[in-house]
Structure 1
Amino acid sequence: MKVRDPTIWMWGEALDMLERADRLHRQFFQLSGAGRASPTWEPPLDIFETASQLIVMVALPGVTADAVAVDVELGAIVVRGQRRLPAFCANCDIRRLELPYGNFERRIELPGQQLQLGARRLEDGCLTLELNKLGVP
C-alpha cells in the first residue's frame, strides 16, 4: 500500500478552502447600483452559444418569477431580485445557512454583436434567457 505524502494532501486541502472562500466572497460581497437596496449576493450563471442565440442560465433556487427583474442595458443584461427566507423560518432557529438569501444582482456583459432578448423562463430553479442574434438567418 502506497503512503500518501501529507504535504501534498494538505496543499490540496488548502487550495480547496481558498477556492471556497473566494466563491463565497464573490457571492456575498458585490457592489450595488445607486438608488436600490444593496445586493448581498450574486447568482452563478452559465452562458451557451449557438449559431443564432446566446442562452444564459442563472441559478435562482427558491426564487419566484415575480421576484426577478431583467433589465437590458447598453452592452449588458442585469438580473436582480430577492430571495426570501421561507415563511416557516419566522419561528425557527437556523442551524446551517449555505444558500444565500436577500437581494441579488448579476450584471452579464454581452459581446459586441446585436442581440435581442427573446424567451425568458424560470423553471427548476434556473432563469433561462434566450438572446437572439440579429442579422443571423
Structure 2
Amino acid sequence: MRTRDPKSWMWAEALAMLQDAERLQRQFFQVGPAQGARWEPPVDLFENGDELWILVALPGVPEGHLEVAIENANLLIQGDRPLPRACAGATIHRLEIPYGRFERRIGLPRGRYRILQRLMDHGCLVIGLRRIGE
C-alpha cells in the first residue's frame, strides 16, 4: 500500500475547499440591487491653468445613469452600471467587472469651480471644470 505525498494531499484539499467556496458563493450571492455605492471607478485628474479635467473610467455605464455635482470642495460622481439583460438570471462563473451603484468623491484643488463640459468618450466620462475664484 502506497502512502500519499503530504504536499499533493494538502494541495488537493486546498483546491477542493476553494471549489466548495466558489460553489457556495454562486449559490447564495447573486448580483442584485444595492442600497448604497458598491464600487468606485478609477479617475485621472489634470490641471491646465484655470481648468481641471477629470477622466472617469465608466465603460458600460449609460450616460443617463450618471449624476455629476460639485459639493463643497469635491466633485461627486454617482451612477449605476446595470448588469446586461442577457446575463440576468445566469450562473456566474467569473465576475470581475463591478456592477451596481457607484460613487466617487474627488477632492478638488483650492478654489471655486463650475462645470464647463461633460461627455462620454470611449467609455470614459470626461468632465471639464473652470476655476471661477478662490
Equivalent residue pairs, number: 100
Q: Distance in 1 between matches of 2:35 and 2:89?
A: 26
Identical-pair percentage:
42
Q: Distance in 1 between matches of 2:98 and 2:54?
A: 20
Match of 1:84 among 82, 85, 106: 82
Equivalent AA in structure 2 for residue 129 of structure 1 = I
Aligned to 1:53: 51
Length-normalised TM-score, structure 1: 0.68
Instruction: Point out where structure 1 has 5 or more consecutive residues left out of the alignment.
Output: 1-35
Q: How is 1:102-117 mapped onto 2 (pairs within 5 angstroms)?
A: 102-117=100-115
Aligned to 1:93: 91
CA deviation profile, 1:17-50 (whole Å, cap 9, x unmatched):
xxxxxxxxxxxxxxxxxxx931000110000111
Q: Distance in 2 between matches of 1:95 and 1:40?
A: 20
Equivalent AA in structure 2 for residue 48 of structure 1 = F
CA RMSD between the two structures: 1.5
**Which has the higher Rg, Structure 1 or Structure 2?**
2
SS state at 2:38 partner: coil
Instruction: Point out where structure 2 has 5 or more consecutive residues left out of the alignment.
Output: 1-33
Runs of 4+ in structure 1 off by over 4 angstroms are none
Q: How is 1:1-137 mapped onto 2 (pairs within 5 angstroms)?
A: 37-134=35-132
Deviation of residue 91 (structure 1)? 4.5
Deviation of residue 115 (structure 1)? 1.6
Length-normalised TM-score, structure 2: 0.70
